[in-house]
Chain A
Amino acid sequence: MDSPADGDGEGGWSALMAAAQDGDRRAYERLLREIVPFLRGVARRRLRGEADVEDAVQDTLLTIHQIRHTYDPSRPIRPWLGAIAERRALDRVRSVSRRAGREEELTDLHHETLQGSSTNEGERRLQARDVRAAVADLPPAQRRAIELLKLQGLSLAEASVRTGQSVTSLKVATHRAVLALRRRIGGDERT
């Protein structure tokens, strides 16, 4: 049902992953740097926006990290990497289409306001309501990360213990949540 190992021929990615499974950090870093263009290629077949492609690549890297013990060095590594990249790209496609269904373009009318703090009180309240609504609309992992790290003020280590997610996953989830909130509330102010 599966083809036999044919050697990956990609600068020894397979050997680098085998070394990484044994704990070799330099081999792992080199492997991840070398495979990023390949992962981008897989993601670009499914996604258009470069920001979404990059998100899919980062999700793929996180999944690779999580399940690196499932790679068998006697088998070619490209199908293993490609399958993971494909899954994460499809997830991102679904998330993009969900987002497209929820959002509408901001016009100048949305930015109209009045001068003076008291006259803007109502608008500030509306904005606070929008922020709460936007946080509630985030994917569960991002919402949890924002709630724990930004609203409850936990440290990354505490939030990691609370959620069972790694510190890296939490950092990525928070970063994405902030970007999503900016996109939703303040227009496209990506950093």
Chain B
Amino acid sequence: MRTEDLVGSLSADLAPVKRLRPPMVRAAGWLVLSVLVIGAVVTVKGFRPDLEARLVEPWEVAQLAAALATGVLAAIAAFHLALPDRSDSWALLPLPGFALWVASLGWGCVADFIRLGPDGIALGTSWSCLGFILALSLPLGGAMLFALRHAGPIRPVPTAAIGVLSMAMLASVGLSLVHHLDAAVMILVWHAGAVLVAVALSTGLSRPGFRIARRLSTAAA
């Protein structure tokens, strides 16, 4: 097919489209929706009994704030990255918050070791933490990527990775309000581990995932 013929064919195919709203507005809408979903799950599961005592400790609050900021900034970044004319550097936006969160957990491990000795960094298993974060972040992330499906032909991998990072970090904040995990090493391994698993899965599945999302939306149109 000659380029001139393709131009004619595309023009003949033209249908009106609804412009996307600005990325900040879309990100805000998405954040409200995901906070409502995660909040509902947290309410059903019940807050951890020692939550009030936890929330007066500046260290704990800072840790939660870093996780929350990472989730919010990652959502904003994902909605910008999905647009062709925005800079790749939007992908960096959530990284300082994420680094701060991981560093605070690392520092917590050191503090636990100083306070309790080797027992303070004894690693147990908490599959439920992994399950909670994956069970929330993968469906929410999948739905978010459906909303971001136009990123498929442009930046599928960074958009999927940062979008799912956002959902996983918000799920981790929700889990921190529900679950008893005192040792920083446990949070580091099970929360951060679950976040990394979610991001790795979304990175690997980004291209076929966006293709399926576009097919679904074409079939529905």
Closest to A33 in B: B7
Asked if A70 lies at the interface with its beta carbon under 8 angstroms from chain B, I say yes
- Tell whether A189 is near chain B: CB-to-CB under 8 Å: no
From A21, A72, A164, contact of B218 by CB (8 A): A164
Would B15 and A69 count as touching, CB distance under 8 A?
no
> A165–B16 Cα gap in the complex (Å)?
18
Please indicate the chain A residues that have their CB under 8 angstroms from the CB of B214 in the complex: 66, 164
Interface residue count on the B side (C-beta < 8 Å): 36
Known contacts being A1-B86, A70-B84, is A23 close to B7, with CB within 8 Å? no
Partner of A168, one of B10, B18, B80: B10
| A79 and B85 form a contact (CB under 8 A) | yes
* CB < 8 Å neighbour of B84 from A83, A167, A171: A83
Known contacts A28-B14, A54-B3, A164-B219, A83 near B89 by CB under 8 Å: no
Which of B80, B85, B150 makes the CB contact (< 8 A) with A69?
B150
Instruction: Give the total of A residues in contact with B, Cβ under 8 Å.
Output: 47
- Chain B residues within 8 Å of A28, by CB: 10-11, 14
Given A67-B150, A72-B22, A164-B214, the answer on whether A171 and B9 have CB atoms closer than 8 Å is yes
- Taken together as a complex, chains A and B put the C-alpha atoms of A61 and B216 apart, in Å, by 22
List A contacts of B218 (CB < 8 A). Answer: 164-166
Residue of A nearest to B8 (CB): A29
Interface membership of A22, Cβ < 8 A: yes
**B6 at interface (Cβ–Cβ under 8 A)?**
yes
What's the least CB distance linking B145 to chain A, in Å?
Answer: 15
The docked-state distance in angstroms from the alpha carbon of A61 to that of B22 is 24
In the bound assembly, the distance between CA atoms of A70 and B7 in angstroms comes to 19
Q: A83-B84, A84-B153 are in contact. List 16 more A-B contacts (CB 8 A).
A: A1-B80, A21-B17, A25-B11, A28-B10, A33-B7, A58-B1, A61-B3, A66-B150, A67-B154, A70-B150, A71-B85, A164-B219, A165-B215, A166-B13, A168-B9, A172-B1
